[in-house]
Amino acid sequence: MVLVPALTPLRLADVLGSCHMAVLGQENPLGLSRVNKAAVLVVDGLGAANLRDRKGHARWLHSAWSSRNLVADSGFPSTTASALTSLTTGVGAGQHGIVGYTIRDPGSGELINHLKDWAPYVDPDTWQLQPTIFEVAARQGIPSLALGETRFAGSDFTKAVWRGATFRGVKTLEEQAEAMREFFDSNDRALAYLYWPALDRTGHSQGVASESWTHRLEELDSSLAVISTMLRDDEGLILTADHGMIDVPEEHKFFVSEGSPLLRNVIAWGGEPRVPQLYVDTTDALADIQAAWEEGLGGGAKVMTREQLVDEGWLGPLADGVLERVGDITVACIDSLVAYRESRASPTSMAMVGQHGSLTAREREIPVIPTGAWA
């Protein structure tokens, strides 16, 4: 096996686990000191490079980060579904099984979009293969609270990824902080998770170089400065992200039409625009499909067969049954480009400016910022 060099010694998968170990008074990958209560706040889409690019618009955030300058690898694929599952389980995508934004269920042959309904094809209790850190903490008498938008309550993704935690839907980041404060005040030991998606949404619609994205970052910076003052001496909070983001101009969007040689023998198109996963009806066609995509994208992507993807270690160790979920061909964009199956892609997706999901450092590197007792 050819192992891919880590972008950084730290992984997003280490973050929540380190908080849990800190509550237990154990050594941990982040070197966090013992606390009684710990939380992780995930800012969706705030990559390390994105924060550096706009550090003058996030002075509190960048100053807090600069004290230790910790950077973690969100893993591959650098997509929210995979990354958040790695955060809450402490393992990579190859072990928890959420190996893409959209992947094919080997049993039914149906595509599973992890941020939409999974039923009736897969069960949240078994599709995500690993126990969560919240479940482990619960067995040790440590309660957990997961906070996010109300629309996430009861979703299949929430059921699978926040197992063991009480999920509470709230509207704003400030309300999440208040709920965390109440939860901490009600327990001697506790774990909490907070999630802020607005920066990612603005990045997708307007781009990370836009004034709108910068304004969102400025709002976030002000809110986080206030939230940091809400922590007691025995409480720690890690600020981090699930991935970074790059802007893709219209002229770099690659549209594949029906009848294209790039779709020959392709029976399902999963993944997402930065990293399509293609499922084929015969392995005899793999070499031709791989060659066609390499030529079509002009070297702008790393095109890998399933075996190459696994052998090079992009997904890490694989649990039983995960291999069959992975596309027969993975097209990992390296340059600033994306690929769409024109007849199947939604207008909203095709209009996106900010994108992520692939294997570049800009998409995978995320800041890790200890605050509170760990500042």
Task: Classify strands 354-355 and 246-247 as parallel, antiparallel or unpaired.
Answer: antiparallel
Asked whether the predicted pLDDT for residue 5 surpasses 90, the reply is no
Q: What is the residue whose two structure tokens read 């500042």?
A: 375
Does residue 42 carry a pLDDT above 50? yes
CA 75 from chain centre, in angstroms, equals 8
Give the pLDDT band of residue 238 (cuts 50, 70, 90). Answer: very high
Cis preceding-peptide flag for 124 (omega within 30 of 0): no
Work out the average pLDDT over 87-107: 98
Question: DSSP 3-state assignment of 47?
Answer: coil
What percentage of the chain exceeds 90 in pLDDT? 97
| Mean pLDDT calculated for residue range 234-240 | 98
* In the chain, alpha helices (H): 15-23, 48-53, 59-66, 80-89, 93-96, 124-127, 133-139, 156-161, 173-185, 198-206, 211-228, 286-296, 306-311, 347-351, 361-364
pLDDT score of 7: 78
What digits encode the pLDDT tens for the residues 45-95? Answer: 999 999 999 999 999 999 999 999 999 999 999 999 999 999 999 999 999
- pLDDT the model gives residue 4: 57
- Domains along the sequence of the chain with CATH: 10-246+360-372 (3.40.720.10), 250-355 (3.30.1360.180)
Q: Note the pLDDT of residue 15.
A: 98
CA–CA distance, 35 with 32 (Å, rounded to integer)? 9
pLDDT tier for residue 1 given thresholds of 50, 70 and 90: very low
